[in-house]
Homo-oligomer: A and B are copies of this chain.
Amino acid sequence: MAAPQKFLDFIDSNVPKLIDRLAEAVAIPSISGDASRRQDVYKMGSWLEAQLNKFGVKTEAIPLGQEHIEGQVLELPPAIVGRIGEDPKKKTILIYGHFDVQPANVSDGWNTDPFKMHFDKESGRMYGRGTTDDKGPIMGWLNVLEAHHNLGIELPVNMRFCFEGMEESGSEGLDEFIGTEAKKGNDGWFGGVDCVCISDNYWLNDRTPALTYGLRGLTYFNVLVSGPGADLHSGIFGGAVYEPMTALIALMGKLVTQDGQILIPGVYDGIKPAASDELEIYEKLDYSVQDLEASAGGKIAISDDKSTVLMARMRNPSLSLHGIEGAFSGVGAKTVIPATVGGKFSLRLVPPQQPDDIRAKVETYLQAEFAKLNTKCTMKIEYLHGGIPWVADHRHWNYQAAKNATEAVYLRSPDFTREGGSIPVTLTFAENLGVNVLLLPMGRGDDGAHSTNEKLDLSNYIQGTKLLGSYLYEVASITSKA
């Protein structure tokens, strides 16, 4: 059962309206990591709730408690949950998305205001923070709902929605809500859910749709080194005191080699090398080292071999150094010895790595390396957050429906990929609901999520909306035959 033509036609004939919808969402700077923007996260949630209601979805704003951020106690933005369709003969699909975004400032190097969506007609690209991560996909669902509502067509499945406003800040509060509701079984918000669909990742390249069945996990650390009581002048104190920055840089330099080898003992324990049939998957993917370098914007691939690069991203752990808090980070030449500096780094994890185990290994290693420095500075390790790696069964009907929908809309088979990033909620749903979870990306590999000049191609937005709608029909079709 393919999607009805009038649904597809509705999307094609309402393109300007759908663009406006995304622009409206982008214009609300719902940055969850910035306390001063918290009101905008609330606002974004209310805006989304109103849209859902308009298209017949019953919603509820779920309070998720409080958090401590930048010395303030703040209410967490509520999760917006919704339901439409109660037909016991239909499958019930749970949709997840997040309406918060990463920070963005023009001064970071944006060509246009990140919170005023810029549609470049020549390239067909829509630039703005959240266009691809994750407001574009959420708008895709709204577009599907609007089409059915306006056309008066019944949806082929029952739908449940769970949209959150804290994904970019560790999904605070959501896990507990999902866990609590899941325990209520059929009486809970997720009662009767047959599978989950999440659109919050990207194609491997800029031409081939993808379905994603694996994610790397994450452990994020802040290693703090302290010495003086306050920042010191390097003229007055340089040479006479132990300097926290020197110690921190030494520690950070012992974590990973330039070619990506992680130096923490035991960190690779249990990770199996790829067998020949697994290697074959990577060789078959529509991908090249040039694709990687194009999306990275530089000739910096770790290898000239496609499979090596793909495995580095999909099935091997990695360690990145993100920056330093408390050191001099401005322009110019400040002659400061910073008093306390925090080195931020994180590891991407793959099965069977577990965050708690990796955390223990990192801490043991840092303690040992710090002791070797023989310094009078002191060290403290903060564990900022963690997420388990995940791999799903891609032979499940949920994936087959998405494959069929992709073939119907894009006239080609999707790449089956594993993703390098972590979307911890994937695991929360998989574990709590015990159902198959599908990652169905809308955007391309070069969209620049979390980066400057984040964009979504109009074709991905429009075809992506059709894909989301078609997926629902393919689910209905494949499960009625089964």
Contact = CB atoms under 8 A, between A and B. Distances in A.
Contact of A451 (B169, B230, B259): B230
A377 B236 contact: no
Given A322-B336, A449-B236, A297 B230 contact: yes
A335 B346 contact: yes
A70, A260, A320, A452: most-surrounded residue (chain B CB, <10 A): A320
Given A228-B297, A328-B323, A373 B258 contact: yes
B420 A246 contact: no
A234 to B, nearest CB: 4
A250 interface: yes
Interface in A155-169: 169
Contacts of A230: 109, 297, 448, 451-453
Interface stretch (A2-10, A52-60, A309-317, A394-402): A309-317
Interface string A301-342: 110000001101100111111111101111111111111000
A101 interface: no
Contacts of A103: 330, 334
Contact of A312 (B33, B231, B239): B239
Contacts of A297: 228-230, 339
A348 interface: yes
B300 A228 contact: yes
Interface in A343-385: 344, 346, 348, 373-377, 384-385
A450 interface: yes
A292 interface: yes
Contacts of A334: 33, 102-103, 322-323, 344, 450
A301 B260 contact: no
A170 interface: yes
A466 interface: no
A437 to B, nearest CB: 17
Interface string A215-234: 01010101000111111111
A202 interface: yes
Interface residues of A, number: 101
A226 B298 CA distance: 9
A238 interface: yes
Contact of A236 (B202, B243, B375, B385): B202
A299 B376 contact: yes
A339 B296 CA distance: 9
Contacts of A330: 103, 325
A222, A331, A339: most-surrounded residue (chain B CB, <10 A): A331
A374 B259 CA distance: 8
Interface in A59-77: 69-70
A70 B107 CA distance: 11
Contacts of A385: 333
Contact of A313 (B236, B257, B336): B236
A285 interface: no
B421 A236 contact: yes
Given A253-B253, A333-B384, 4 more contacts: A235-B419, A240-B312, A243-B258, A298-B339
Interface of A: 33, 69-70, 102-103, 108-109, 169-170, 202, 216, 218, 220, 222, 226-243, 245-247, 249-250, 252-253, 256-260, 292, 295-302, 309-310, 312-313, 316-325, 327-339, 344, 346, 348, 373-377, 384-385, 419-422, 445, 448-453
